[in-house]
């Protein structure tokens, strides 16, 4: 019997089992039956564990902004919070011999992925770090005398089921201390799998591994011999195994299994949940929270609003909303108002995207109309709607609301057959196997065409699977232009349903579609290189696609945001063709941070520049007035002279900048103006300031004057008559005039109340659509068309039925991770919005280490930080605080501290808020020692940057001391803006020394490796020798001596690449361990209807030198392997850095450091004495 729920994180004790379902903790009889709920927080819970005596449970659940360890009696009473770490990595892992909770977390670490193990008393209190270094899990063996062996599992980059068959550097490793003396060695070092969840069971060590291609349960003797497999799961991985020392319980595909003993076979538990599901109950959509596009009608009096895959029609000032598309299990997007009260949008009713055109004021069908889900569910797919409807209580608690007119229920007047695609008369089957192809769907629709001639919905299908990237309606409503992510441009006739292929570039995403005012000409931007570094503009006539596109620009630059001026004379656009560089402020470099300017193209050869001389001096000023008078007149016919079009480009007289989203209004251009700002945000006036947002600028063409209409916003859309602008800012929608700036109190400003949108969302149907779309996105955008040999259709059939058992959005996220894991490829991420409790400010931190002494909570270390890093400053080092090591923290906000009232408890929710500390001066204050004083500080939310900068400073200090001050040290934390900044902080000083260690351990990747490789790979070829100043290398910042590269398993993505490139270019030997092994990149282009990000591995990297494709799912081997065992961490040693220093000492003996030449041997400028003049005899 298959479970009807999705169970996770099981544990067992006696005759009871605990697990997580529907985001809460449950208990059930081990023999099966009805479970009862222990918690009811409706927040993602993890890893519930029975205490050794079976009286209580401990688990983690979000408290404030991060998961914390909590405890409760098995009946749910006596709830306690045990930790106040404030870090997202916190997990329960078991118990120590004395019954304390083993917790892993990175809350005190310089690296947010390095979770360490801590012992936390069951009644709360101080968390004592265990001496293992970074670990994912800990398993204690049976005590033998005074010794207790232990096995630890290494930190994983993600759990094995989320990247199946992973073999890279962070693949799970087991380390064993067999006699409890603190010395570890690898257990099964030659087993090529991802080992996780070690358990001590009956004198053997059980664990999970996929070294045979599938995730199963194995065991081995503590000496590494007698490897056995205990399960034979092939369809789904065995996950989250735990034990009571004799039995093992685990989950697979959301079902629970028990292995009574290592000599037994696993049996599935038959458990049912004993209460009504709250998380599956239909609920009202919060439109503002999930706001997408807001697109106004022609007059700017109403808009189509997209929110969470639904579309509603909403008048701006008042009145109710009208649901246009909210069919459960369907995602609609890209709404576009047409003429005559019609609306176009894209939706995926049948699992394949199609274009729909609907009458906004269409009559609602009678009660006998078929349900949208019934009409849209593909044959052969699990029918989520039917399954949900058949469950008892499915409709209980549902609030009656006006139901949407289901698109699939109405007759289709024109379907996939009503198309004209030049050169392609074939219809491809684009749905998963068993679903109807567009041709089959069209056949049924055509049969009903005459009978349903008056239907209000027009469906237009595509000839093959595609993803609509942009959609724009012509001003007269007769045409729709569609751009796709596969480089296609279509024109759809909104009356007949005919679909015409206008252009196809074969690859890349078509964007920025725009129509001329007379609805005859279509323009778009298409890429001519990968990653959109260059693009061109092209024109075409929708009614005459056979004429072919006309090139407006040639693709030398990045040309975007085309817009026809309303008078039909010009095409305006933005272009990265301004080349006025600026010098870098930290290193010798030039860049183009603001390369964009607006331009006009005169469409007709005889159209003069609006900014040049004219024989009619009043022509320029009259154009704006004429535009106003002709506001309701027929649009002028646009005339295009293709010859010489690219040479009629006219610069708009405004400074270069960072402009986007250009639109043309009457007599003016509008665009977003982004102020030049840093990428990391570290350069803001205050870290409390909001991130930079663009302003809305208006340029008056006649007066040549630029004004700011709106100071800060997220996006905007012009109304069809160009008189109004709909603004989105901080999830709020306002409407303002397009020709003037208005203040908050102006009657011309309309605030749109999104609360009028009332749509019931059915979670199971929403999750089903999300799953289907995530599957399609991988099918359509995974880097290899053959899915690298994976049968993606069969993966769908295997995983899709699990959707009906999900109990929460967190379950969906887990299932999507498992789905993506089947690709066996890096960068297949699922990124949901962070789950937090409403109103929480996060756990406060003081930027210091404290320990409890008889005198109170003593400050044992104040993190030094880094003055150039605004996120690396301890609150205790702020002016006026004057805290010193040895001071005693007596109270916070007047509350005395003790063993049971810890500083962390009193700093809950204090991040970013002022608190009062009562300090007792320690001995470091001299004569003032022993005095109490009160100071105000603002705790920080995160200490990672503080601890990171201290870790870097400590490493640099070690290198200096070991080399007598002659070696430099640089750490690069990532290959993004933060890492680029960190590299340049000390680039000048460190490259000027005799040798250099470049540390890319823990590098999180990014995209700047080619820039970093160029910097650290420079060779000194000359010297600049100024008088009275120190010599400087040519090129600048070239390392003067040999270079060592340190790498480890946490160097990944672009960290893999910099390591591989360093080897290929001979920059220096690589020392450490094999890197992560993930070099198929992503672009973060797509998200699901609820905003959950899903990434598709799209950009595979290949390397020369015989490396080829081998880095992916393997990593880069070091030239010299140096392990970093748990006991080295416990001893405070860094064997990799130590080895690197020793190797560098040897290298400088063989490869002498480049030094400036002596000031000799140069050409002397003083001329020799003038020789005697030669005389000639007369």
In the chain the domains, ranked by start, together with CATH numbers, are 136-246 (2.120.10.60), 505-612+637-665+667-679+691-721 (2.130.10.10), 848-940 (2.30.42.10), 945-1078+1113-1150 (3.90.226.10)
Share of the chain above pLDDT 90, in %: 83
pLDDT of residue 218: 99
pLDDT of residue 382: 35
Q: Give Cα separations from 513 to 5, 491, 522, 537 (angstroms).
A: 46, 11, 7, 10
The active-site residue out of 469, 525, 1053, 1062 is 1053
- The mean pLDDT of 331-341, rounded to a whole number, is 96
Question: 287-301, 421-435, 480-494, 708-722: lowest mean pLDDT where?
Answer: 421-435
Q: What does the DSSP assignment read for 109-152?
A: -SSTT--EEEEE-TT--PPEEEEEEE-SEEEE---BTTB--EEE
Which of 273, 383, 235 lies closest to 4 in space, CA to CA? 273
- Identify the band that residue 254 occupies on the pLDDT scale cut at 50, 70 and 90: very high
Residue 383 confidence (pLDDT) above 80 = no
- Identify the band that residue 633 occupies on the pLDDT scale cut at 50, 70 and 90: low
Is 1112 assigned a catalytic role?
A: yes
* 273-277, 348-352, 387-391, 618-622, range with greatest mean pLDDT: 348-352
Q: Are 5 and 273 in contact (CB under 8 A)?
A: yes
pLDDT of residue 913: 96
pLDDT of residue 435: 39
Q: Which residues on neighbouring strands pair with residue 342, listed in sequence order? A: 359
For 402-413, write each residue's pLDDT tens digit. 333 333 333 333
Residue 51 confidence (pLDDT) above 80 = yes
pLDDT of residue 690: 87
- The mean pLDDT of 1112-1128, rounded to a whole number, is 99
Arithmetic mean of pLDDT over the chain:
91
Phi first, then psi: give them for residue 1028, nearest 5 degrees.
75, 5
Which of 777, 784, 773, 831 lies closest to 485 in space, CA to CA? 777
**Pairing of β 995-999 and β 967-971:** parallel
Strand order in the sheet with 66-73: 45-50, 56-63, 66-73, 80-81
* 370-379, 1113-1122, 1156-1165, range with greatest mean pLDDT: 1113-1122
- The mean pLDDT of 360-367, rounded to a whole number, is 71
Q: What count of other Cβ atoms lies within 10 Å of the Cβ of residue 85?
A: 25
Collapse the DSSP code of 868 into the 3-class scheme (helix H, G, I; strand E, B; otherwise coil) and give the result.
Answer: coil
Select the more confidently predicted residue: 1003 or 368: 1003
pLDDT of residue 724: 98
pLDDT of residue 619: 53
Residues in contact with 373: Cβ distance below 8 Å, sequence separation at least 6, in sequence order: 327, 328, 329, 383, 385, 386, 406, 408, 765
For 697-736, write each residue's pLDDT tens digit. 999 999 999 999 999 999 999 999 999 999 999 999 999 9
Q: Are 535 and 560 in contact (CB under 8 A)?
A: yes
Instruction: Give, in degrees to the nearest 5, the angle at Cα 1099 between 1093 and 1103.
Output: 145
pLDDT of residue 687: 81
Quote the DSSP letter at residue 845: B
Residue 430 confidence (pLDDT) above 50 = no
Share of the chain above pLDDT 70, in %: 90
Task: Please give the biggest Cα pair distance in the chain.
Answer: 134
Residue 73 confidence (pLDDT) above 90 = yes
pLDDT of residue 454: 39
What is the rounded distance in angstroms from the CA atom of residue 1085 to the CA atom of residue 469? 10
For 748-790, write each residue's pLDDT tens digit. 999 999 999 999 999 999 999 999 999 999 999 999 999 999 9
What is the rounded distance in angstroms from the CA atom of residue 1004 to the CA atom of residue 1010? 15
Is 1053 assigned a catalytic role?
A: yes
pLDDT of residue 406: 35
Residues in contact with 966: Cβ distance below 8 Å, sequence separation at least 6, in sequence order: 993, 994, 995, 1148
Select the more confidently predicted residue: 899 or 403: 899
Residue 336 confidence (pLDDT) above 80 = yes
What is the rounded distance in angstroms from the CA atom of residue 1076 to the CA atom of residue 1054? 10
What is the rounded distance in angstroms from the CA atom of residue 429 to the CA atom of residue 231? 38
For 644-675, write each residue's pLDDT tens digit. 999 999 999 999 999 999 999 999 999 999 99
pLDDT of residue 685: 86
- Identify the band that residue 367 occupies on the pLDDT scale cut at 50, 70 and 90: low
For 213-224, write each residue's pLDDT tens digit. 999 999 999 999
pLDDT of residue 544: 87
Tokens of residue 1036, six digits: 């600048």
Sign of CA dihedral 595, 601, 605, 607: negative
For 500-510, write each residue's pLDDT tens digit. 999 999 889 99
Residues in contact with 1107: Cβ distance below 8 Å, sequence separation at least 6, in sequence order: 1060, 1064
For 457-471, write each residue's pLDDT tens digit. 999 999 998 999 999
Q: Which residues on neighbouring strands pair with residue 831, listed in sequence order? A: 1093
Tokens of residue 1021, six digits: 């070829």
- Identify the band that residue 445 occupies on the pLDDT scale cut at 50, 70 and 90: very low
- Identify the band that residue 992 occupies on the pLDDT scale cut at 50, 70 and 90: very high
pLDDT of residue 532: 73
pLDDT of residue 1178: 60
pLDDT of residue 447: 40
pLDDT of residue 424: 35
Is 827 assigned a catalytic role?
A: yes
pLDDT of residue 546: 82
Question: 264-268, 441-445, 847-851, 989-993: lowest mean pLDDT where?
Answer: 441-445
What pTM does this model have? 0.91
- The mean pLDDT of 581-587, rounded to a whole number, is 94
Question: 154-168, 527-541, 630-644: lowest mean pLDDT where?
Answer: 630-644
Residue 193 confidence (pLDDT) above 70 = yes
What is the rounded distance in angstroms from the CA atom of residue 489 to the CA atom of residue 493? 14
- Identify the band that residue 613 occupies on the pLDDT scale cut at 50, 70 and 90: confident
pLDDT of residue 397: 34
Which of 1059, 1065, 1048, 1102 lies closest to 1080 in space, CA to CA? 1102
Which of 771, 806, 837, 759 lies closest to 282 in space, CA to CA? 759
- The mean pLDDT of 180-191, rounded to a whole number, is 96
Phi first, then psi: give them for residue 978, nearest 5 degrees.
-65, -45
pLDDT of residue 626: 54
The active-site residue out of 11, 211, 827, 1037 is 827
Select the more confidently predicted residue: 1103 or 362: 1103
pLDDT of residue 747: 92
Q: Are 1153 and 1040 in contact (CB under 8 A)?
A: yes
pLDDT of residue 374: 39
Q: Are 541 and 520 in contact (CB under 8 A)?
A: yes
Residue 136 confidence (pLDDT) above 60 = yes
Tokens of residue 560, six digits: 């975007």
Angle of helix 809-821 relative to helix 763-781, nearest 10 degrees, comes to: 20
Question: 94-108, 152-166, 358-372: lowest mean pLDDT where?
Answer: 358-372
């Amino acid at each position: 019997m298959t479970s009807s729920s999705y169970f996770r994180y099981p544990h067992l004790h006696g005759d009871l089992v605990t697990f997580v379902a529907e985001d809460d903790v449950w208990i059930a009889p081990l023999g099966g039956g009805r479970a009862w709920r222990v918690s009811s927080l409706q927040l993602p819970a993890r890893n519930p564990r029975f205490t050794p005596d079976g009286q209580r449970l401990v688990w983690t659940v979000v408290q404030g902004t991060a998961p914390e360890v909590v405890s409760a009696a098995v009946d749910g009473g006596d709830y306690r919070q045990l930790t106040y770490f404030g870090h997202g990595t916190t997990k329960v892992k078991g118990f120590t011999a004395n019954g304390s909770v083993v917790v892993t977390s990175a809350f005190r670490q310089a690296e947010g992925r390095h979770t360490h193990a801590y012992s936390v008393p069951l009644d709360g209190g101080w968390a004592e770090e265990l001496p293992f270094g970074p670990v994912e899990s800990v398993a204690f063996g049976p005590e033998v005398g005074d010794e207790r062996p232990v096995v630890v599992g290494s930190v994983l980059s993600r759990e094995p089921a989320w990247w199946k068959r992973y073999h890279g550097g962070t693949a799970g490793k087991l380390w064993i201390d067999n006699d409890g003396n603190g010395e570890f060695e690898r257990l099964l070092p030659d087993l090529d799998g991802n080992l996780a969840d070690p358990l001590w069971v009956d004198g053997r060590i059980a664990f999970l591994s996929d070294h045979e291609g599938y995730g199963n349960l194995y065991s081995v003797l503590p000496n590494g011999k007698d490897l056995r497999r205990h399960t034979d799961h092939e369809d789904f991985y065995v996950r989250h195994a735990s034990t009571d020392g004799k039995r093992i319980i685990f989950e697979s595909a959301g079902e629970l299994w028990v292995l009574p003993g290592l000599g037994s076979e696993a049996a599935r538990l038959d458990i049912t949940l004993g209460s009504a599901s709250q998380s599956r109950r239909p609920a009202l959509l919060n439109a503002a929270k999930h706001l997408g596009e807001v697109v106004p009608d022609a007059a700017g009096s109403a808009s189509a609003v997209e929110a969470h895959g639904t579309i509603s029609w909403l008048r701006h000032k008042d009145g109710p909303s009208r649901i246009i598309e909210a069919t459960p299990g369907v995602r609609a997007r890209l709404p576009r108002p047409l003429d005559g009260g019609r609306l176009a949008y894209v939706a995926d009713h049948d699992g394949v995207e199609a274009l729909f055109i609907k009458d906004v004021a269409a009559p609602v069908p009678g009660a006998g109309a078929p349900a949208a889900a019934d009409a849209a569910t593909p044959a052969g797919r699990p029918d989520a709607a039917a399954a949900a409807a058949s469950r008892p209580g499915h409709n209980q608690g549902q609030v009656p609301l006006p139901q949407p007119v289901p698109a699939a229920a109405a007759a289709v007047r024109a379907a996939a057959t009503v198309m004209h695609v030049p050169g392609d008369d074939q219809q491809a089957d684009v749905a998963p196997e068993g679903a109807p192809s567009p041709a089959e769907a069209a056949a049924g629709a055509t049969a009903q065409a005459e009978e349903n001639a008056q239907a209000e919905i027009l469906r237009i299908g595509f000839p093959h699977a595609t993803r609509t990237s942009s959609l724009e309606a012509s001003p007269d409503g007769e045409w729709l232009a569609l751009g796709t992510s596969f480089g296609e441009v279509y024109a759809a006739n909104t009356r007949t349903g005919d679909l015409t292929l206008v252009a196809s570039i074969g690859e890349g995403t078509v964007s920025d579609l725009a129509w001329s005012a007379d609805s005859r000409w279509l323009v778009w931007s298409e890429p001519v290189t990968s990653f959109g570094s260059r693009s061109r503009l092209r024109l075409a006539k929708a009614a005459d696609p056979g004429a072919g596109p006309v090139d407006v620009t040639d693709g030398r630059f990045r040309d975007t945001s085309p817009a026809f001026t309303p008078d039909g004379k010009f095409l305006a656009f933005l272009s990265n063709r301004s080349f006025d560089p600026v010098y870098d402020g930290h290193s010798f470099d030039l860049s183009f941070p603001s390369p964009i300017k607006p331009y006009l193209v005169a469409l007709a050869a005889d159209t003069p520049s609006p900014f040049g001389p004219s024989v009619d001096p009043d022509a320029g000023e009259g154009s704006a007035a004429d535009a106003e008078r002709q506001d309701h007149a027929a649009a002028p016919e646009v005339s295009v002279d293709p010859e010489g079009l690219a040479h009629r480009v006219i610069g708009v007289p405004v400074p270069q900048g960072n402009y986007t989203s250009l639109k043309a209004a009457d007599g003016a251009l509008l665009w977003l103006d982004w102020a030049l700002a840093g990428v990391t945000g570290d350069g803001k006036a205050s870290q409390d300031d909001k991130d930079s947002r663009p302003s809305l600028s208006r340029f008056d063409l006649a007066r040549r004057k630029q004004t700011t209409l709106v100071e800060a916003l997220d996006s905007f859309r012009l109304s069809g008559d160009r008189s109004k602008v709909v603004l989105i800012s901080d999830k709020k929608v306002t409407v303002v005039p397009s020709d003037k700036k208005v203040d908050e109190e102006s009657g011309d400003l309309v605030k749109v109340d999104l609360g009028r949108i009332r749509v019931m969302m059915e979670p199971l149907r929403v999750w089903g659509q999300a799953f289907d779309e995530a599957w399609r996105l991988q099918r359509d955008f995974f880097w290899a068309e053959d899915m690298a040999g994976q049968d993606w259709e069969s993966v769908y059939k295997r995983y899709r039925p699990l959707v009906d058992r999900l109990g929460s959005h967190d379950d969906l996220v887990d299932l999507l991770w498992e789905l993506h894991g089947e690709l066996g490829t890096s960068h297949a991420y699922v990124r949901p919005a962070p789950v937090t409790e409403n109103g929480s400010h996060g756990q406060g931190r003081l930027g210091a280490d404290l320990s409890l002494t008889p005198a109170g909570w003593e400050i044992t270390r104040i993190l030094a930080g880094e003055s150039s890093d605004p996120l690396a400053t301890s609150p205790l080092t702020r002016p006026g605080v004057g805290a010193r090591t040895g001071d005693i923290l007596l109270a916070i906000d007047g509350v005395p501290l003790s063993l049971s009232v810890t500083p962390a408890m009193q700093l809950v929710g204090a991040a970013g808020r002022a608190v009062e500390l009562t300090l007792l001066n320690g001995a470091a204050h001299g004569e003032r020692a022993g005095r109490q004083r009160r100071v105000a500080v603002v705790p920080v939310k995160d200490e990672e940057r503080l601890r990171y900068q201290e870790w870097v400073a400590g490493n640099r200090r070690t290198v200096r001391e070991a080399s007598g001050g002659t070696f430099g040290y640089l750490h690069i934390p990532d290959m993004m803006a933060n890492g680029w900044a960190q590299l340049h902080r000390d680039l000048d000083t460190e490259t000027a020394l005799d040798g250099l260690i470049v540390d890319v351990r823990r590098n999180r990747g990014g995209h700047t490796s080619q820039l970093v490789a160029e910097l650290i790979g420079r060779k000194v070829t000359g010297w600049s020798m100024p008088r009275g100043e120190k010599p400087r290398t040519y090129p600048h910042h070239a390392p003067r001596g040999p270079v060592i590269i340190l790498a480890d398993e946490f160097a990944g993505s672009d960290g893999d690449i910099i390591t591989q490139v360093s080897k290929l270019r001979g920059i220096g030997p690589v020392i450490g361990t094999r890197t992560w092994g993930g070099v198929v990149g992503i672009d973060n282009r797509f998200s699901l209807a609820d905003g959950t990000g899903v990434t598709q591995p799209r950009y595979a990297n290949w390397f020369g030198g015989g490396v080829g494709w081998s880095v992916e799912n393997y990593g880069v081997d070091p030239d010299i392997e140096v392990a970093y065992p748990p006991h080295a961490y416990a001893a405070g040693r860094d064997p990799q850095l130590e080895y690197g220093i020793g190797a560098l000492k040897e290298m400088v003996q063989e490869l002498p450091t480049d030094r400036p030449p002596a000031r000799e041997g140069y050409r002397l400028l003083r001329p020799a004495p003038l020789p005697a003049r030669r005389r000639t005899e007369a």
